[in-house]
Amino acid sequence: MDWTVENWGSTSADYPLYDAAIVVDSRNVPVIAYRNGTPMDVAPAQFFNNFDALLKAARRAGPSDPVPVHFVHSLAGTALIGAAAIQPFDLDPSMKPEDFYVLVFAKHITPQVVAEISESFNIAGLSLDAYPIPGRLEAMLTDVVGNKVAVFTWPPEAPGTKSYAMVEGDLRTAGTVLVLFLCGIGAAGAVTVRILKASESRSRYRSLHDALTGLLNRAGLIESIAGASADANLDEAAVKLHFIDLDGFKSVNDAWGHNVGDELIVAVAHRLTDALPENAIISRLGGDEFAVVTLENPLLLSSSDVGHQIQVALTRVFEIGARTIEIGASVGVAISPDGKIETGELIRRADIALYRAKDLGRGVTVEFEDSFDDDTNRQADLEAQLRTTLTNGGIDVSFQPLIDARSGAICGVEALARWVTDNGDRIGPDVFIPLAERSGLIDLLGLQVLKKSLLSAASWPDIGLAVNVSPLQLKNPRFVKQVTDALQSAGFDPGRLSIELTEGVLISNPDQARRAIDGLKAAGIKIALDDFGSGYASIGTLRQFGFDRMKVDRSLIVALDHDQNGGAVLHATIALANALNIPVTAEGIETEAQATALRLSGCDALQGYLFSRPISAEQVTELYFVSSRRDHGEEQSAA
């Protein structure tokens, strides 16, 4: 998702080739929809005419067929639009084209674009019109179903027959004069051609260069890779492509604004130009991404380590105005021996290597390895399995009892998702929850866990049910409605349900979190802050969002036994929450000593292996409800 937004969505802000980027899933639901660098506020199907027909055409086209490209009416005017199914290199016969996601790019034909076309192609007087205009030449623009969308028109270069008839008489006289001027015209013509050539090369320059830094842009990079590959092929050299992403650039932009951000980008461009060998081709791909292409002769022992040079150059501080700014860079490298790797593939490899580098932290250079693709394939494989499991409703739920600190009786359960694959492998939620988040399956998974938990917990007496919710689920505007609908159809009292949220979303997206939390609370659902103490959330956060409960993270409880101050920190944390009237659950309790310490500190609910591991719904019923009723019954009959 991050990759998609960064490479396609955000790029639509200032990329010469498109201003809208949309990805839809197999049900034509937009996964991302960006225009001019920001999310679209109108559904693409409403924004573009005949959008569904275009998607259909894209899925119909085979992997080697041309991509359907058409013109289209949009709410913003006339656009050129292209759509292609996202499909693997090797088509698996079991995959149906209607299951593919589709990537759509669109470029609006603004007056500026018309002016650029007019200049690039030397068509004076070009205009975009609704209908053909008599006396002007035309090129009709049609949409995906063949309807006329608009028409380019321009004046004919040759004098029309009508005007010819008008000037025929004068022309004869002028003919004689004309001969005298022939030489002069020849000279003037040469000047005109030169001017035209200059303007042509100006517009070509613009289309290949980044306006801010004057470096090559993405289109320029692609051309330069092609050139370098051809040279490498002749010289038995290798093309080395380095993708650079600045570490910490976003916070510079956030703290000091875009002007400072722009100045920093220009400074980075200068720094790279000064630090790298003269034959390095440097480009800016947009935002804070740069690329460097070098040709390396493998026979030369002192083949330069450009990745290292980039790192060294960018870790030195930058002075922007009165500010001293420290950034750094992550670098992904891909190598094309003899220039034999196709440009698109080389870019893909550098991109994957860059993502690895970013994953590893700041200031790292990573070179692409074939095993990265194996990892990617394994991930894709696991994702496909998860998708199937979810479609078949095959995610299981375990329940871990929550124990009342005073009475020792069960007071609730926490639902925990469980996945056993068809091969019988147990995959932990620490693996499949992030996978579901990355692949857009988390909404489905979350809802399935919620529904199954409600179904099981409905048969238990009035104990609470806690369900974990991923921050990404809060992004879904229908989330609150889905939860209340599920409660209603299960006939479950909303007051018994609590939703556990981790703090990440509160910090990264506070408005979104607040909207969802307010909606859930309005429905009578309780909200708990999970894993408190594992990150940055403060007591202030607890207050600000009105949490009903806090769960102290296991790490604080483990610290009881290992850290001198552990007890004091834990005690103070719980005391603060209690001072705000927020009850506290302690999770991950494994020993009696821990349980006692937590009871004394003021936790009112306890959870951990000491009391019970997560167990099946049937076990919960059997252990806590059937047997207690039986005991109760026996007591009564004894009495």
Binding site for Mg ion (CB under 5 A): 468, 500, 530-531
Min separation Cβ 448 and ligand C2E, Å? 9
Between residue 423 and residue 452, which ones bind ligand C2E under the rule CB under 6 A? 428-430, 433, 446, 449
Question: Could you tell me how many residues of this chain bind ligand C2E (CB under 6 A)?
Answer: 24
Among 500, 501, 574, 598, binds ligand C2E (CB under 6 A): 500
533 lines the binding site for ligand C2E (CB under 6 A): no
Min separation Cβ 504 and Mg ion, Å? 13
Which own/partner pairs from 180-184 qualify as long-range (CB within 8 Å, at least 24 positions apart)?
none
Among 155, 590, 619, 621, binds ligand C2E (CB under 6 A): 590
501 lines the binding site for ligand C2E (CB under 6 A): no
Interface segment toward ligand C2E; rule CB under 6 A; list 98-106, 302-310, 465-473, 628-636? 465-473
Enumerate residues 6+ apart whose C-beta is below 8 A from 626.
none
DSSP state, 216?
B
Strand-pairing partners, residue 139, are: 152
Q: Are 631 and 639 in contact (CB under 8 A)?
A: no
Q: Which residues of 351-388 are buried (b: 16+ CB within 10 A; e: fewer)?
A: bbbbbbbbeeeeebbbbbeeebeeeeeeeeebbebbbe
Residue 269 belongs to what H/E stretch? Answer: helix 258-275
Decide which of ligand C2E, Mg ion, none touches 181; Cβ closer than 5 to 8 Å per partner kind. Answer: none
Min separation Cβ 605 and Mg ion, Å? 12
Among 19, 210, 288, 531, binds ligand C2E (CB under 6 A): 531
Between residue 537 and residue 576, which ones bind ligand C2E under the rule CB under 6 A? 554
Enumerate residues 6+ apart whose C-beta is below 8 A from 501.
469, 471, 474, 513, 517, 527, 528, 529, 530
Structure tokens at 373: 């693709």
Q: Are 210 and 283 in contact (CB under 8 A)?
A: yes
Decide which of Mg ion, ligand C2E, none touches 588; Cβ closer than 5 to 8 Å per partner kind. Answer: ligand C2E
Give the rounded distance of the alpha carbon of 280 from its chain centre. Answer: 30
C-beta closer to ligand C2E: residue 343 or 468:
468
- Helix 370-391 and helix 429-438, axial crossing angle in degrees, nearest 10: 90
Residue 7, Cβ neighbours under 10 Å: how many? 15
Min separation Cβ 284 and ligand C2E, Å? 38
Among 614, 617, 620, 624, binds ligand C2E (CB under 6 A): 614
Residue 464 belongs to what H/E stretch? Answer: strand 464-468
Decide which of ligand C2E, Mg ion, none touches 469; Cβ closer than 5 to 8 Å per partner kind. Answer: ligand C2E
Q: Are 222 and 280 in contact (CB under 8 A)?
A: no
Among 35, 588, 603, 624, binds ligand C2E (CB under 6 A): 588
Min separation Cβ 414 and Mg ion, Å? 6
Among 84, 469, 497, 542, binds ligand C2E (CB under 6 A): 469
Min separation Cβ 447 and Mg ion, Å? 17
Structure tokens at 57: 């055409």
C-beta closer to ligand C2E: residue 152 or 399:
399
503 lines the binding site for ligand C2E (CB under 6 A): no
Q: Are 552 and 569 in contact (CB under 8 A)?
A: no
Residues 546, 547, 549, CA angle at the centre, nearest 5°?
150
468 lines the binding site for ligand C2E (CB under 6 A): yes
Min separation Cβ 580 and Mg ion, Å? 20
- Residue 377-416 contact track with ligand C2E, rule CB under 6 A, x = bound: -----------------------x---------------x
Decide which of ligand C2E, Mg ion, none touches 416; Cβ closer than 5 to 8 Å per partner kind. Answer: ligand C2E
Q: How far apart are CA 132 and CA 135, in angstroms?
A: 9
Among 587, 598, 601, 605, binds ligand C2E (CB under 6 A): 587
Written in H, E and C, the secondary structure of 493-506 is CHHHEEEEECCHHH
Min separation Cβ 490 and ligand C2E, Å? 16
Min separation Cβ 518 and ligand C2E, Å? 20
Decide which of ligand C2E, Mg ion, none touches 614; Cβ closer than 5 to 8 Å per partner kind. Answer: ligand C2E
Min separation Cβ 502 and ligand C2E, Å? 6
At residue 40, φ and ψ (nearest 5 deg) are: -75, 145
Min separation Cβ 531 and Mg ion, Å? 4
Q: How far apart are the first and last CA of the chain?
A: 65
Give the rounded distance of the alpha carbon of 286 from its chain centre. Answer: 16
Q: Would you state the torsion angle of the CA atoms of residues 220, 222, 224, 225, taken in this order, to the nearest 10 degrees?
A: 160
C-beta closer to ligand C2E: residue 339 or 608:
608
Q: How far apart are CA 334 and CA 239, in angstroms?
A: 8
Q: Are 336 and 303 in contact (CB under 8 A)?
A: no
Q: Which residues bind ligand C2E (CB under 6 A)?
A: 400, 416-417, 428-430, 433, 446, 449, 468-470, 500, 530-531, 554, 587-590, 607-609, 614
